[in-house]
Structure 1
């Protein structure tokens, strides 16, 4: 009996020791899981606090810049105020800015109706012969149109120098953008005062081949920038040996042809594929420009929503740049038949970072009222590539 009593006591001690080990093991495992969950929670909080949500808007809305231009907007109004203040302080003469919309896609700007154009723009032009510099100063605007829903306007001015090979270029001939700038943003003002000055190195014999194009735009951080009107100043008939101040009434914006592109289209309904070939791009090059490269970005949109996009490789820019690249998009047949093809051509300077500059766009689409000729030929010749030259506009 004594033996069995001792044996039972030993069994109880063994059971007790096993229970303690299990208890500590469970506590240890629980502690590890707790630390992991705590780390995940801290990481999610950090991501939420540092995230910049992309503004919800149609795909043809201003996008990325840059290019098309898509930019991230902070929902915090205070952060947006700080951003706008930084933009204003960073604006200085002789520098190009891409904060309010460097890419400025043609598809990203709301269509302008003639009856909505009103107001005027005051600016000054001056050519400094000693330094061979053209100086452009945007002074102010007067009586701009306001938005119907907010009864206010947040204007800024986009300035482009358009250069043609000859002074007597006919209407519709190719030009190139020598330089472009944007003024600071003035909030809630129908008669904003800008006072921003920009300059560009330009030989005296080149001045007469330049046209200065001013586009007054209404900034909208949630949707598309709206063009309020434009003013143009051809320099071939002006004497700029002294500062010349001008005041022009705003007009309906016009597109300028800045090149041509040879594109091919092929639709394969069985495999639900759309092939867009970027074959050649013909542009006007200013002789004084340093080495540049080109690439094309093709976007497929449907009902103002971007579905797919692809870009070609970068090629050294020549008068005629050869790509011979085919971009393939796999989409449902219904979307292919209703989509819009937007080919955006960009110029970059390989030696500089963030030097991307939009050259222009090509739109190929089928709408309820009209059908692009190239699109029609593609649909009539299924499974066969159809090539055609298209004008590039900006």
Structure 2
């Protein structure tokens, strides 16, 4: 009887709900709610293999701890304990499904290194999941060498930055002399004053022009501008036959104060040569943002070599207009600026000669008046040439700037050719605009070229004197 009573009590406790005394599969309090079924879903027929392995490893690892715990008998297990165990199993399965879905969406070659999640189905210990750590993509060792730029690591004395050298080191290295000048900004007048005082120890003409090796002294002058605008420049008078010229000349630049602080003052010491293009001896560049413009100051600066060995010849502003009905080609000589100086005194006496060449034949020659004592002349003179529409395609206009000389022949300054035999892309562009816009004046600035350059690229230049 004792054995039978114990067996009946066991079966009743295992399969009968103690709250309502009904079978567990018929009892309403033991059935899961709709909300729990919707979240957790039905249990699978069998546990996933990877979860079984983890549970087996946990059991093996915790065998020592579980052996010391007292066994739990069915009589000791209450309904609340069984219910909490069931809830733990359901939440365990829900988390397992979420982990499985993450594993299925993981890319084949991830750039994120995630530590595998260790989950214990029945154990009480929980391990925190480590955050994802970005993994740097693997780059072969050979690819690192392709990123190097050898020119940055080469040892080349000529590539040293001049700004890192002192004036004494620059003077000993290049031996081009020194320049004394001062600057000051006037806030009331809104202009910058540059005073060119003197130069010292300039090299002889042989240093910049081997054709003048028979001359012992230079004829220096200083040309200055505010970079990046090199067109609006000033220049001093020429000092005859000296290597230590004294200028003592002042020049002003009308420029706002904030704009002046963004400019760089460039002073070039040039050797005057009446019979060829002037040669640049050396230059000094000083950023105006590094100095106190209002207070002003004086500086002795060592000259450094210039990449521009020869000065520009100047610029010429022209306007062209063709009237097809009258067969007239109108030419306006408006102005010129920063012409090459042809006289030892400050300024020159420039004039412009205009010559019409049809094919390779000189047809007509005209010239402007002579402007005395200036390198920035204003002409505003108009000339007209008779050219038919048939001859317009073969026509060329040769513009030559001369410096008037009463004692000898006129001094050549510069030349350009516009038309069929243009001397460059700017001249060709100006001529095409004329051909496509009849009866409309077409205006453009042109940089003058040397006689040798014009003769080399334009046959029309060879037909004039």
TM-score, normalised via structure 1 length:
0.40
Q: Which has the higher helix share?
A: 2
Per residue, is there more strand in 1 or in 2?
1
Higher relative contact order (CA 8 A, sep 6+): 1
